Amino acid sequence: MNKKGDHIILIGMSGAGKTTLGEALSISLNLPFIDTDEEIVKITSLSIPEIFRLEGETKFRLYESGVIRQLVDFPKSVIALGGGAPCYDNQIELLLEMGTVVYLDVSIDVLTKRLGQITNTRPLYTKLSSNQIVEKTKTLMKQRTSFFCKADFIVDGNTSSDDLVKKVIEKIH
């Protein structure tokens, strides 16, 4: 498959650190940073949890899909996607055409620790106990890993942001 775009696209589970890494990469590479969730919030004037509560996950995925399609023709950017984005509507294939896709692979332990601190902003984790967060993360990871593993590069995300920036820049250059 031929690449049309030159974006750097970060995928991975919720809590993997895609936004944090994306912001750091955009500074290091002097490129714009786009977080698809933030774009959806701008378009809808609703928070992600509000969209899930008021309109449901299906409608959220439609917004997400629309944002991704708009980014196809954007100038080169670092893009952080919501955790489920590559797994819907065959979007992983489109993402692979848009640029270099990097899967931030983070252990269940690290993810659940991070997610346990911020469940109120993560609709799929709202009101879950610690044990439920672990189970939900394992289930989602099983469902999503086959999509994530289609990425151009898989990076071990269980390390500091600085290390990750170096690793990703090495992989993409």
pLDDT tens, position by position, 60-76 = 999 999 999 999 989 99
pTM value?
0.89
- Coil, helix or strand for 52? helix
Q: Element (H or E) spanning 153, and its range?
A: strand 153-156
Per-residue tokens: 98:
């848009």
Q: What is the CATH number of the domain that holds 34?
A: 3.40.50.300
**Residue 169: inside a domain, yes or no?**
no
Chain length of the chain: 173
**Residue 165: inside a domain, yes or no?**
no
| Average pLDDT, 10 consecutive residues per value, the chain (173 residues) | 78 90 95 96 93 92 94 94 89 94 90 69 72 83 92 89 88 82
Which phi and psi angles does 12 have, rounded to 5°?
A: 155, 180
Which amino acid is residue 24, in one-letter code? A
> Residues 132-163: pLDDT tens digits?
878 888 888 898 999 999 999 999 988 877 88
- Coil, helix or strand for 78? strand
Segments forming the whole domain that contains residue 73: 7-158
**Residue 122: inside a domain, yes or no?**
yes
Per-residue tokens: 69:
């399609």
**Residue 29: inside a domain, yes or no?**
yes
Count structural domains, the chain.
Answer: 1
Q: Convert 12-22 to b/e letters by CB count within 10 Å (16 or more is b).
A: bbbbbbbbbbb
Q: Which of 141, 151, 147, 87 is nearest to 109 (CA)?
A: 141
Residue 54's Cβ-count burial label (10 Å; 0-12, 13-18, 19+) is exposed
